């Protein structure tokens, strides 16, 4: 499935670029990168909706999300996050491989530009995920949605990505996993969103950006304290 329009969130791009405030040169670099990339992104997503059961971890055993088809996601952070959920939405999204080609082309010319391009790409895919999330939540009523959570986050091992790929038809959007467990094209995201049909409607927690508290990467330059 295709998005019609991708918003360029310059503020986010500058954050990924690690620019200080009001750095005009950095802003120009991001704008320039965006202009080179905007016709190269072909965003796509695939999704699935599955029943699930959540088991919390105990005594060193990791928590589990057990899906209707028998697959299990192992992560205590995820289990805690999805406590009370009986269904999940899974999705995979990508900006496409043309983005990678453009980024390599930019890399030949300039370091600044390629770093700006990577920052712009990160902002674009994040925004795209927001729109995908919105699309998927349409027509699902009375749900208390949890914010999206991805493999590699907290104690959800990146190796578990394989399980996500086993469910989603990522082939359809040209999203693949390399032998070492990385996604190709580079600007891609997979994520899980829990649906809790029991609890009262969500309390604005669905905006997913500021949830660094659970993550083990304490040195992460993008870490945002809540």
User: What does the angle CA 74 – CA 185 – CA 79 come to, to the nearest 5 degrees?
Assistant: 15
Which residues are CB-contacts of 18 (< 8 A; sequence separation ≥ 6)?
119, 221
- Judged by CB under 8 A, the stretch of 74-82, 123-131, 196-204, 213-221 that binds another protein is 213-221
Q: Which residue has the tokens 């805690």?
A: 80
Residue 186 interacting with another protein (CB under 8 A)? yes
Go through 132-154 and write b for each residue having 16 or more CB atoms within 10 A of its CB, e for each that does not.
bbeebeeeeeebbbbbbbbbebb
- Residue 23 CB coordination number (10 Å): 13
- Judged by CB under 8 A, the stretch of 56-64, 74-82, 99-107, 199-207 that binds another protein is 99-107
CB-wise, 79 or 116, nearer to another protein? 116
Q: How far apart are CA 147 and CA 46, in angstroms?
A: 18
Residue 167 interacting with another protein (CB under 8 A)? yes
For residue 73, what is the DSSP state? E
Residue 98 interacting with another protein (CB under 8 A)? yes
* Least distance in angstroms from the C-beta of 102 to another protein: 9
Q: How far apart are CA 104 and CA 117, in angstroms?
A: 10
Residue 107 interacting with another protein (CB under 8 A)? yes
CB-wise, 10 or 105, nearer to another protein? 105
CB-wise, 127 or 187, nearer to another protein? 187
Select from 3, 158, 212, 215 the one that contacts another protein (CB under 8 A).
Answer: 158
Residue 174 interacting with another protein (CB under 8 A)? yes
The phi, psi pair for 199, rounded to 5°, reads -70, 160
Tokens representing 10 are 């310059």
Judged by the rule CB under 8 A, the positions of this chain that interact with another protein are 1-2, 17-20, 23, 25-26, 29, 42, 44, 46-50, 68-71, 89, 96-98, 100-101, 104-105, 107-112, 114-116, 118, 135-136, 138-140, 152, 157-159, 166-167, 170-174, 176, 178-182, 184-186, 217, 219-220
């Amino acid at each position: 499935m295709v998005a019609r329009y991708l918003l360029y969130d310059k503020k986010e791009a500058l954050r990924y670029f690690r620019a200080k405030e009001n750095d005009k040169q950095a802003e120009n670099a991001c704008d320039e990168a965006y202009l080179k990339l905007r016709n190269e992104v072909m965003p796509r997503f695939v999704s699935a909706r599955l029943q699930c059961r959540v088991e919390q971890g105990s005594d060193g055993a990791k928590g589990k999300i057990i899906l209707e088809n028998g697959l299990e996601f192992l992560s205590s952070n995820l289990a805690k996050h999805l406590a009370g959920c009986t269904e999940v939405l899974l999705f995979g999204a990508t900006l496409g491989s043309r983005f990678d080609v453009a980024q390599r082309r930019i890399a030949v010319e300039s370091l600044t530009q390629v770093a700006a391009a990577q920052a712009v790409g990160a902002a674009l895919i994040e925004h795209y995920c927001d729109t995908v999330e919105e699309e998927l939540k349409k027509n699902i009523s009375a749900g208390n949605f949890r914010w999206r959570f991805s493999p590699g986050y907290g104690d959800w091992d990146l190796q578990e990505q394989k399980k996500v790929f086993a469910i989603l038809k990522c082939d359809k959007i040209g999203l693949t996993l390399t032998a070492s467990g990385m996604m190709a094209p580079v600007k891609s995201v997979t994520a899980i969103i829990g649906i809790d049909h029991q609890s009262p409607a969500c309390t604005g927690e669905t905006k997913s950006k500021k949830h660094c508290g659970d993550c083990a990467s304490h040195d992460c330059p993008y870490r945002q304290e809540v």
